[in-house]
Amino acid sequence: MATENPPPPHSTDRPAWHSRLPQDVLDAFDSTIDGLTAAEAAKRLERDGPNELKEGARVSAWRILAGQFKSLIVWILVAAGAISGFLGQHMDAFAILAIVVLNAAIGFYQEYRAEQSIVALRRLTAPNATVRRDGELVSIPSLQIVKGDILALEAGDRIGADARLLQTASLQCIESALTGESDVVAKNPATLPQMDTPLGDRSNLVFSGTSVSAGRGEAVVVAVARETELGRIAQLLDEAVADKGTPLQRRLDALGRTLLWAALGIVTLMFGLGWLRGTGLLELALTSISLAVAAIPEGLPALVTVALSIGVLRLARRGALVRKLEAVETLGSTSVICTDKTGTLTVGEMTARRLLVGGRIYHVTGEGYGPAGEVQWEGKKAGEEHRLPLGELANIILGCNSSHLTEDAGTWKTVGDPTEGALLVAGAKAGGNRQRMDTSFPKIRELPFDSDRKRSSVTRRMPGGGLRILVNGAPGVVLSLSTQLFTGTDVRPMTAEDRHRILQHTSAMADESLRVIASAYADLLNGSAGDATAAVVERDLVFVGLTGMYDPPRPEGKSAIAKCHAAGIRVVMITGDHPSTAAAIARELGIPSASAAVTGTELDKMPASDLQRRAPGISVYARVTAENKLRIVRALRASGDVVAMTGDGVNDAPAIKGADIGIAMGISGTEVTKQAADIILTDDNFTTIVAAVEEGRGIYSNIRKTLQYMLAGNTGELLLMTVCVAIGLPSPLLPIHLLWINLVTDGLPALALATDAVDPDVMRRPPRPRLERITDRAFLQTMLLTGALTAALGVGVFLDGLKTGSLASARGSAFTVVVFAELLRSFGARSETKPIWRISLFSNPNLIIVVILSISLQVMSQHNIAFGSFLKTPPMTFTDCLRLLALGAIPLAVLEGVKMIRHRQSLSTPTVHPTAKSAPGTE
């Protein structure tokens, strides 16, 4: 029979191997239960190639380096550096070009590191595999696995290919890397009728990159290399994004184009006006070019880098490691956070919450696998009268348990099944003692959990020599095997009413999204447990009680989500868990519109246009695949949102790479996910993401106000020069004056502003739209008003100087008052809305020091002959310096008055509550 080759990974009609009979699958690959012959395997290996994840076309290091010089503002800075060198300002030229080289080096390092995702993904594949060749079991490198091979699986194996199970013996696998869920998955060869069964529910398939935790099995290989689910994720990583560009990058590029045209316009205007007035060609060229250089804030890239670097340090202290500097600012633009449930919104550790025994429902406090907590009855710790019923239940959930707990640096972890770990903790809180039980009631035999039986059992020898079998399992199954009921004090026959009441309690716990485990026991005749089957010994049980458990939400998660909503950020839960569980956790956390979850199966049937239309209204997705997650992220981005995506498993990596900002879990995250991410959380906590968003907004605010401060000062200089030249006055400032003003005001004061503390009100504002310009209307209005005030002050002082003294003294006064005005204005530039008396002056001591030092340097230039000669400023008395300092405060006073007026107007205007949706737009 000809071998059937499955369609490409992204094809919607891929063979549904889980819905086909084992023999049909064997026939499809021309294989048998005894496996392939060595000759046939070699032929297929030659035809299909090795079972490995081949890397796509890698971007060369030279190409990555060249990409760092694509930005227009970079080339403007290169030109500014060349012009500064031409004017003899070699120090300025060196500083500007050094900034360009430093930024290129940082960008190159970040992009080169990002190319390592596929390399990390390849390390997940198994190095060796056991297969049947010529009817014999042989160990081969996983590279040599071919379709049709029969894999032999046992505990501890890492699976080397996707395969359809043929037979199993208590087989359990860990698939968290693919599904994101930490629960052990029970496997069996039974055919599943539904072709669109979600990936996490395909219990008759095993997948490449996952591992076997218990049991044995054999399976026929149905997919290798890039046709596997792991390979599909590798392909999605390749396709996820080429160059998504951050909001800040787009805004700075737009600003660069504006500055380029502004600089050309200034050169043309000043050259034309000077030419008409008969100014010398050399002087005209120097002045025009100096003005053009002054119009460009050449310190901006360095300031942006410093602001982002400070943000990186602050975030590191709050539990977030930043791999890409610009990612910090992108977080500030985030309008949607797509987050995993398990371990991020929840604790990530199964926790028992309810116990039913003796007809009473007990509440269990505490979270995770730690010993903190107690069993409560009616809101108080269960007393002595509850010791007997709780002890009976504790004996079973502790005694029928193969997991154990460990403590490492104060953190408790479970070694084994998470469900059994939760039972261990609950049993200890209920008064049981695992160590004493193992000593007093030694284990004789264990029948592990099986997906067919849906229960596990352990036989232990009682002190009198008798045998007792302890059983934990699915409530319906255990109840059907029970003929008696433990009432809390004694045992009596079970009635139909008892069964009905227990099922009601089971349903009530399930409605709370609790996973329910039933416990029972039976006393056996001596010797009857030796080689007896489960059907023989697991019957005529005494039903004892129920344990309801779940992965609880993090205590701080609800407040963090509320903080997101107040900031206009929508939180979307994307999980591999079941829909009912996901929706219940979402409701408990306060995620709106979480009445129902959209499943991966529904997404597979949904056209891209429908998903884009519906995505802004969906808050919970469940049972999703890696491809589903990437589609969700793309749909949200296409609708205009700035999307942050979090995750820890391999299945999260494509969506993390495709989002505007990718966030990986540092504790539970795989290496693949970390390589694809922009930010790594050291505590796997959603609250840290919110803190990072707050820091990102603060950084953008700092960059914006610093840019406004710089451009407003440049505008004042340009208006001052243009007005004076236009009305026939001599040039009020020399080229050296313009360059000095740029150095003093665009340097240290701007740096101090860029590293200002985050405004506490930053999370009470809506997110910025994706296409919002950094220089919006309010920005330009303030910039022009500030520039006009500075220019008017400079013109006034210059005219007064011409009337009372020489041209040199008039220039010296105009030069000094402009420097003073811009330095004092830095105090008001700390906030666009708050006046300086509402901001603590000492919350930014660096700014105070810088302003005092800069004013001192300016005064020294009037009293030091060498310094004054360098800046071409005549001597000036201290009295005149104080007078100019007072005059320099006028623009600051006017701007603070404007803030007060705007504040009063805003109080009288009705407030419209911001929505979480950003303005529509496209990339």
Q: Which of 92, 149, 157, 340 is catalytic?
A: 340
Residues 6+ apart with CB under 8 A from 872: 734, 736, 737, 808, 811
DSSP string of 302-324?
HHHHHHHHHHHHHHHHTTEEESS
Q: What are the Cα distances from residue 570, in Å, to 338, 558, 562, 617?
A: 9, 13, 10, 10
Side chain identity, residue 656: I
- In our burial notation (b when 16+ CB lie closer than 10 A, e otherwise), range 172-199 reads bbbbbbbbbbbbbbbbbbeebeeeebbb
DSSP string, 194-214: -TT--GGG-TTEE-TT-EEEE
Report the C-alpha gap between 673 and 653 in whole angstroms: 5
CA-wise closest residue to 630 among 608, 613, 609, 610: 608
The answer on pLDDT for 610 being more than 50 is: yes
Contact 573, 345 (CB under 8 A): yes
Both tokens of 643, joined, read 């999307």
Rounded Cα gap, residues 163 and 344, in angstroms: 31
User: What is the phi/psi pair of residue 680, to 5°?
Assistant: -120, 125
Query: What are φ and ψ of residue 461, in 5° steps?
Result: -90, 125
pLDDT, tens only, 79-135 = 766 766 776 666 656 656 765 676 667 556 645 554 444 445 445 444 788 999 998
Residues in Cβ contact with 239 at an 8 Å cutoff, skipping those fewer than 6 apart: 654
220: phi then psi, degrees, rounded to nearest 5: -95, 130
103's CB contacts (< 8 A; 6+ apart) are 68, 74, 301, 302, 305
β partners of residue 425: none
DSSP 540-582: SEEEEEEEEEE-PBPTTHHHHHHHHHHTT-EEEEE-SS-HHHH
Q: Which residue has the higher pLDDT, 684 or 476?
A: 476
Find the range with the poorest average confidence among 350-364, 389-403, 554-568, 908-922.
Answer: 908-922
27 catalytic per annotation: no
Strands 515-524 and 491-493: unpaired
317/732 Cα distance (integer angstroms)? 49
Maximum pairwise Cα distance, the chain:
120
Residue 915 predicted with pLDDT over 50:
no
Q: How confident is the model at residue 416 (pLDDT cuts 50, 70, 90)?
A: confident
Per residue in 519-570, pLDDT tens? 999 998 755 555 567 777 888 999 999 999 988 888 888 888 998 998 899 9
Closest Cα to residue 198, out of 67, 18, 39? 18
* Rounded (5°) CA angle 471-476-478: 20
User: Per residue in 557-586, is it b (16+ CB within 10 Å) or e — as a string?
Assistant: beebbebbeebbbbbbbbbbbbbebbbbbb
Q: Which helix (H) or strand (E) holds 113?
A: helix 90-114
pLDDT digits (tens, 9 = 90+) for 475-531: 999 999 999 999 999 999 999 999 999 999 999 998 887 899 999 999 987 555 555
Q: Using 50, 70 and 90 to split pLDDT, how confident is the model at 336?
A: very high
> 481 with 539: CB under 8 angstroms?
yes
CA distance 297 to 737: 16
- pLDDT at residue 749 greater than cutoff 50: yes
pLDDT at 60: 64
Q: Which of 161-170, 173-182, 477-486 has the lowest mean pLDDT?
A: 173-182
Confidence of residue 380 (pLDDT cuts 50, 70, 90): very high
What do you get for the CA distance between the two ends of the chain, in Å?
51
Strand duo 211-223 + 150-154: pairing: antiparallel
pTM over 0.75: no
Q: For the segment 873-895, what is each residue's pLDDT rounded down to a tens digit?
A: 888 899 999 999 999 999 999 99
β-pair type (620-622, 570-574):
parallel
Q: How far apart are CA 367 and CA 905, in angstroms?
A: 50
Please enumerate in sequence order all residues whose Cβ is within 8 A of that of 628, keeping only pairs 6 or more positions apart, or say none. Answer: 600, 603, 604, 621
Per-residue confidence (pLDDT) for residue 736, from 0 to 100: 75
* Whole-angstrom distance, CA of residue 288 vs CA of residue 274: 9
Residue type, 922: T
Helix H segments across 115-135?
117-122
pLDDT at position 651: 81
Give the chain's length: 923
Residues 6+ apart with CB under 8 A from 374: 364, 365, 366, 381, 382, 429
Q: Hey, what are 466's tokens?
A: 């008798």
In the structure, what pLDDT confidence band is assigned to residue 920 with cuts at 50, 70 and 90? very low
3-state SS of 843-870? HCHHHHHHHHHHHHHHHHHCCCHHHHHH
Contact in structure between 315 and 691 (CB atoms under 8 Å) = yes
SS3 277: helix
Separation of CA 770 from chain center: 18
Question: What average pLDDT does the chain have?
Answer: 83
Backbone phi, psi, residue 290, to 5°: -60, -40
C-alpha separations of 550 from 347, 351, 841 in Å? 10, 5, 50
SS3 call for 95: helix
pLDDT (tens digit per residue) in 307-331: 777 777 888 888 888 877 677 777 8
Q: Are strands 205-206 and 320-322 parallel, antiparallel or unpaired?
A: unpaired
User: Model confidence at 359, in pLDDT bands (50, 70, 90)?
Assistant: very high
Q: Look-up: residue for tokens 């005894």?
A: 34
**Residues contacting residue 845 through CB under 8 Å, at least 6 positions apart:** none
pLDDT digits (tens, 9 = 90+) for 22-60: 999 999 999 999 999 999 999 999 999 998 876 555 556
pLDDT of residue 11: 39
CA of 256: how far to CAs of 577, 707, 782, in Å? 47, 12, 20
Give CA–CA dist 525/540, Å, rounded: 13
> Residue 880 is encoded by which pair of tokens?
């005149």
Which residue bears the tokens 């979402």?
Answer: 586
Smallest CA-to-CA distance from 800 within 892, 876, 732, 877 is with 732
85: number of CA atoms within 13 Å, CB side?
11
pLDDT confidence band for 373 (50 / 70 / 90): very high
Residue in 420, 494, 486 with CA at minimum distance from that of residue 458: 420
pLDDT value for 686: 85
Q: Facing residues of 274 across strands?
A: none
**Which range scores top for mean pLDDT: 352-361, 505-514, 778-787?**
352-361
* Helix, strand, or coil (residue 224): coil
- The two three-digit tokens of residue 285, written as one number: 């060229």
101 versus 223: which is more confidently predicted? 223
Strand spans (E) along 371-466: 375-377, 380-381, 404-408, 411-415, 443-450, 455-461
- What is the distance between the alpha carbons of residues 238 and 53, in angstroms, rounded to a whole number? 12
CA distance 233 to 178: 9
Judge whether 345 and 716 are in contact, CB under 8 Å. Answer: no
Q: Is the model's pLDDT at 916 over the cut of 50? A: no
Residues 6+ apart with CB under 8 A from 603: 611, 621, 624, 628, 631, 632
What are the residues whose beta carbons fall under 8 Å from the beta carbon of 377, sequence distance 6 or more? 360, 362, 363, 383, 386
Strand 320-322 and strand 679-681: the pairing is: antiparallel
Amino acid identity for residue 787 in this structure? G
Where does 418-497 show beta strands of DSSP type E? 443-450, 455-461, 467-473, 482-486, 491-493
